[in-house]
Structure 1
């Protein structure tokens, strides 16, 4: 079987990426966990300890299996992490910032394992030195906010060579949606894979049905920075190529969402919020308005997504499909 035996104590070497701001909610994370993979909630982009605690406890109602939560270090997060450690979730994934050894040690004292997502060889070296439990290597093929500029094909084996002998599992991320990508990642030195876009397009995802359908229909993405410039300056992203994007993709660098009209409304963690043109807010299940003009994050593997299955089916097809490929082609 293609299993990450001993990979952080989970049955399968498959990670559902933290999809934000609230796309990977308790329903999706619990479904992934119940299928034996690693499901990750997404912490809010502000210190919201009560919200974090509620998300964790809602997920525990839906599954007895372990799961985790992702934290973007660029945004205020100290109180969120305090609650994560108090609640003793199995995994805390951190990214977009440094997480030094003293903080990793603090998590370990609470029984929480730390996965650091990186987009460069230098950041992988820092993560290894900090004593993290696993490293997610993200290639520029990934959807959403992309931390690096190098392809997974070249970055992954370099990181594998760098940390050889450190006993730190590597998890590959970026454009992987099926068993073929899973096997390719294993061949390049990974022990597991992290999928984002594939899990957005599942029944349990909190993405708007319009967004999910666009992922099924679309085949092209582009690396850009036109969305969310005021909220997160300099954070490039990979998005679906839509009619709206084609019209505005050469947006002047001095324009951001702050001066733009409101094109919709949404609830994020039960809080009402306006959606302005060029905001980085993807449409969730509560969103109303001009959905076509909203950002829709997606990785380069989106053209391989043809349906919206249950999350457990995604996990099963990855595991069984990878095993079939290995048995038929490499044995």
Structure 2
């Protein structure tokens, strides 16, 4: 009996060793809280990858900046310390500043335009640029249209921004936009933004509704104005060497799971806008949708001119060919 039991243990160890040798664990990191749509995307992606690979690939999720800020996560993914990261496209423009043309104010004005841009030829050409930096783009999830929150009052026309100490991200175009409209832009990492708003370091900020909600900015901001001034895409990117180390079947699983998760997240974003706005109102925010978009579009046009003078107009013309249909 003892010899039989010992044999079973040996077989079990051999099987376990075989499973372990074939199994792959991928670390996926992002900066958003667990209640954000980015986490829902990550969970859907992880579930589908595990199911489609029969458990051979497991995705371990690290939300809320557990593995560093956006810049650190991108660096970690390029080096292979992190396998997959999800971050705003603006956080990659330090390497590829020409991609900032995708975020010019009022360049993309509705979701259908955005999806055609990012899922089509323009997005494919952008993805190829990432490979120069050791990254494989799995797709472009949605962060949403950027809106403005502040504590002074509704933003109806460009002059309403004058004098506001405005937190901005590292988008060259958006920083120029707010400076042009006589706000005082200050770059602050999103992980530090709540405290900066709470302590009055800045008066205002711009983010999609989902971020306003998930980061609980409604606790430190009174007014939300639906300016829709820039479409914010995310990038789901994988270490290229890690991706290439997978079998063709595994690569196909990763790409299919990423597409399905992005489609799922985009639908949640689109369908959830009204509910998120209602939730923000129930938490005390005053929501303003009376925005003079035409006045803003006219006022920010010099930002386009500056960008094209510096980086050329090829990308801008390609996007306009889509948005003018």
Using structure 2 for the length normalisation, give the TM-score. Answer: 0.31
Using structure 1 for the length normalisation, give the TM-score. Answer: 0.31
Higher RCO (CA < 8 A, seq sep 6+): 2
Q: Which has the higher helix share?
A: 2
Greater C-alpha radius of gyration: 2
